[in-house]
A and B are shown apart, each in its own frame.
Chain A
Amino acid sequence: MTEPIVTEPIVEVTGLHVSFGAIDAVRGVSFAVHAGECVAIVGESGSGKSVTARTLLGLTGDGARVRAESFRIEGRDASGYRERQWRAIRGGRIGFVLQDALVSLDALRPVGKEIAETLRLHRDVPGAVSRAETAGRVLELLREVGVPEPELRARQYPHELSGGLRQRALIASAIACHPRLLIADEPTTALDVTVQAQILRLLAERRRRGSGLLLISHDLAVVAELADRVLVMRDGVVVEDGPAARVLRSPGHPYTRRLLAAVPMEHAKGTRLSVAEGETARPIPARPPGEVVIEARDLVRTFGRRTAVDGVSFRLRAGQTLGIVGESGSGKTTTARLVLGLLKPDAGSVEIDGRPWEGLTPAERREIRRHVQVIYQDPLSSFDPRFDVRRILDEALGVGGEPRRTRRDRAVELLEQVGLDASVLDRRPSRLSGGQRQRVAVARALAPRPRVIVCDEPVSALDVSIQAQVLDLLAELQADLGIAYLFISHHLGVVHHVSDHVLVMKDGRVVESGDVRQVFTAPAAGYTRELLAAIPRLDPHPDPHLEDTRPDAPLDVTAPAVRKAS
């Protein structure tokens, strides 16, 4: 099949301005999307990328003022469109896929009905189906987006489907009327890496069939997988625009360079991810491994009939980072809670500095707790909402035995250590930015001078450049203080960047463990290879190491695979 020669773009905007009251969210953005082309808009929160996407659907809302030098959809001037005309565009001409399918799908309706509604609303578009054909077309669509057992799935409600299936159902509903353009706003951000790869393949397939694709993402690697053209946005302005290969390989703008430097998968431990303009990055020195601070032996923990953690063993030494990576439900967080002594294992033991949690008096347990601190994905929920930063640090210092009169000075010192100044002392965390909150969480964790900090998805909620700063901060603290990290994440790139050793978990078991370079370059377990192959890469040519032709090694599920535990 030969592609028809396309002369006219599906959408074309020049000089787009969107403002909300006094705030200019988008300032002078121009781009066009052609059939069979993927244009990606990359940027951090507040860059205006999502507002730009919504403008193409007339979804900016009442408070917004939209101006453009020209704004054409399928050759027609769209700048004066009213709600009725937008309704014909949405779903009919342009399909929209959002990040969180659980929110975007009606919770009280089976997904089949949801998809059928799009078909019902657009009976006048070319290729529309009659009432009688609707049910058949819904199943056809579900099959097209790779939903197994479509007859069953069509009858199910969104909460009964997994995240991947929900996202597919949403895409099915978005493509139901053969829209010429598909807008996907962070379509894979909430998904596990293997599911993300499937969704990206699905989107690539749409493009191959001639659909235009506008991809909105903060993740440069995801963009690299799909995009033909990339627009880099910051504060409502496009700072760089060009073919994806050029922008991602030889970026012209310093901001693009900073974003690329911040991608953790591309940089080994010790490399700084956050680099100020014009500065050359000094590497962060590595610590030699010290004495064993955590020893976990054959941990088992069940919840009802489900075994969350099954035979997990590992050893963590001072000054080192052990990464635990796995998809949702793999038992990572349960393992963390067992290490923190917040849960009791059904079998096995955890020793902190050679002392097991079990068989201690409450006072002895409290004494050990000081040595194992924790930072969470959502720092805000880990602070008492009534407390300001001063009280948060004061409490943590008090536990660490700091005398009352020196606590203020120590609090300021801690804040300096995490890159904040004393002015935040009187503020509540709810008034701080996401990055500042995580820094306060780190400062609190440091207060009782711990040996180990358990990091449970500490950067998953942060923007790329803030994530880079926090990861650099953690690395510097490790170099200075010799703290050990137990670093838990579903994000393989982040784990690759921070860890010395890695545990790969699946269904509560360790399927592979070892030195980070070894696991990421020569994975032994089939599951690890599957995970690694699914990671979107800036350079879409597959890593030669991943093109391993050996027959799949059997999954190591019988014994905890502590191959190299130091």
Chain B
Amino acid sequence: MTTAAITAGAGRARRVPRPGVWAATLFLTLVAVAAVAPALLTSGSPDAADALAALQGPGLAHLLGTDANGRDVFTRIVFGAAPSLLAGLGATALGVTAGTALGLLAALGGRVLDEVVMRLVEVVLALPTLLLALLVITVTGPGTVNVIFAIALYTAPGYARLIRAQTMVIRRTGYVEAATSLGLTRGRIVARHVLPNAFAPLLVLATIEVGTALVAAASLSYLGLGPQPPAPEWGAMLAGGRDYFSVAWWIAIFPGVAITLTVLSITVVGRHLRRLSEGRAS
């Protein structure tokens, strides 16, 4: 009784987030609001061009300045949150789903299927990631959906490997054996015991990987393969500011800061979640 109380207390103490975690959570909340309801954060329109106000520096009229067409950079960053986040989240979700399916298939589908799936996974992992994405988009054409698909294609193998390894371990655990002895069907054991336990560590990893996927999506947009102009997207805005960097640094810098802060915040929150899940496991 005493020991249980003490461990529970220690667990709670560890669960109090640090200030950095609070700041990151706050920032991510703002980004999420921007993505869902951009009108709450800015009154302007992302496409409202004003030739007279072109290339103005940050100031009271335009918080983060204006671009070559006189569009407000802050407004465009706010409206750019949705496609940027969508690409990061979508690619990760698709990658995790496909990876989990492949991993389970390899671990539980018998030796032949395991060989086929894992060799395929190795081939994909052997290719340079960005090159693979470029190749896919060359075939499918630019756009957010295709960017998501391209990124998912090269992240899925990593998740598949992880799920396969986890599943291999879990299917030999005492609780799977106990469930088998109870007479549960194979499908039920996989759905109820194997998948949830294999998936738990992946979920935390995936949170952190959303940041990586977001950077990848922004990179593809920067190369002009994402949403097409004039749609606001952080990576595309970064590319648009490239030519004006010496005269109007704010056009490229602020979208870049948005990307960096978002990824940083995701990592901080993801790490915190991981600490929590490890604390629970021990």
Contact residues of A with B, CB < 8 Å?
340, 342, 362, 366-370, 372-374, 376, 378, 381-386, 395-396, 399, 431, 444, 448
| Chain B neighbourhood of A395, CB < 8 A | 179, 182, 184, 192
| B183 contacts across to A, CB distance below 8 A | 366-370, 399, 448
A147 to B98, CA, bound (A): 56
- Cross-chain pairs A/B with CB under 8 angstroms, 26 sampled: A340-B181, A366-B183, A366-B184, A369-B180, A369-B181, A369-B183, A370-B182, A370-B183, A372-B181, A374-B177, A376-B174, A378-B174, A381-B173, A381-B174, A382-B177, A383-B178, A384-B175, A385-B281, A386-B197, A386-B200, A395-B182, A395-B184, A396-B182, A444-B178, A444-B182, A448-B183
CA distance A396 to B180 in the complex (A): 11
In Å, the complex CA distance between A374 and B196 comes to: 24
Inter-chain pairs besides A342-B177, A367-B183, A378-B174, 10 sampled, C-beta below 8 Å: A342-B180, A370-B182, A373-B181, A374-B181, A381-B174, A382-B175, A382-B178, A395-B182, A444-B182, A448-B183
Contact A373 B196 (CB under 8 A): no
Which chain B residue has the least Cβ–Cβ distance from A376? B174
Q: Are B182 and A373 in contact (CB under 8 A)?
A: yes
Q: Could you tell me the distance between the alpha carbons of A368 and B196 in the complex, rounded to whole angstroms?
A: 27
Interface contacts (Cβ under 8 Å), in number, total 61
Among B4, B197, B281, point to the contact of A384 (Cβ < 8 A). Answer: B197
Which 7 residue pairs across A and B have the least CB separation, nearest first? A369-B183, A382-B174, A381-B174, A366-B183, A382-B178, A384-B175, A399-B182
Contact of B178 among A367, A370, A372, A374 (CB under 8 A): A374
1/0 contact string of B147-159 vs chain A (CB within 8 Å): 0000000000000
Which residue numbers of B lie inside 8 Å of A, CB to CB?
4, 8, 173-175, 177-186, 192-193, 196-197, 200, 281
Contacts of B175 in A (CB 8 A): 381-385
Closest to B281 in A: A385
CB < 8 Å: which of B4, B180, B182, B192 contacts A431?
A: B4
* Complex CA distance for A376 and B174, rounded to whole angstroms: 8
Q: Considering the chains assembled together, what is the distance between the CA atoms of A370 and B181 in angstroms?
A: 7
Report how far A386 CA is from B198 CA in the complex, Å.
11
Q: Can you name the residue of chain B whose Cβ is closest to the Cβ of A386?
A: B196
CA distance A495 to B177 in the complex (A): 24
Report the minimal beta-carbon distance from B47 to chain A, rounded to whole angstroms. 48
Question: Which residues of A have CB within 8 Å of B185?
Answer: 362, 366
Residues on B with C-beta less than 8 A from A376 are: 174, 178
* With A384-B193, A385-B197, A386-B197 as contacts: A448 and B174 at CB distance below 8 Å: no
Minimal Cβ-Cβ distance residue in B for A363: B185
A444–B175 alpha-carbon span in the complex (Å): 12
Chain A residues with CB under 8 A of B200: 386
- Known contacts A378-B174, A382-B175, A385-B281, A342 near B197 by CB under 8 Å: no
Least CB distance, A295 to chain B, in whole angstroms: 19
Nearest to A383 among chain B residues (CB) is B175
- How many Å lie between the Cα of A378 and that of B177 in the bound state? 13
Cα A342 to Cα B180 with chains together (Å): 8
Chain A residue, CB-CB nearest to B173: A381
A340 to B200: give the CA distance in the assembly, Å.
30
B181 / chain A contacts, CB cutoff of 8 Å: 340, 342, 369, 372-374
| Among B177, B179, B181, B184, residue most surrounded by chain A Cβ atoms (within 10 Å) | B181
User: How far apart are the CA atoms of A448 and B179 in the complex, in Å?
Assistant: 12
Tell me the bound Cα distance from A384 to B173 in angstroms.
Answer: 9
Instruction: Tell me which residues across on chain A come within 8 A of B182, comparing CB atoms.
Output: 369-370, 373, 395-396, 399, 444, 448
> In whole Å, how far is A525's beta carbon from the nearest beta carbon of chain B?
32
Residue from A382, A384, A399 with most neighbouring chain B CB atoms (10 Å) = A384
- Which residues of chain B come closer than 8 Å to A373, judged between CB atoms? 181-182
- Interfacial chain A residues near B192, Cβ < 8 Å: 384, 395
Residues of A within 8 A of B8 (CB): 431
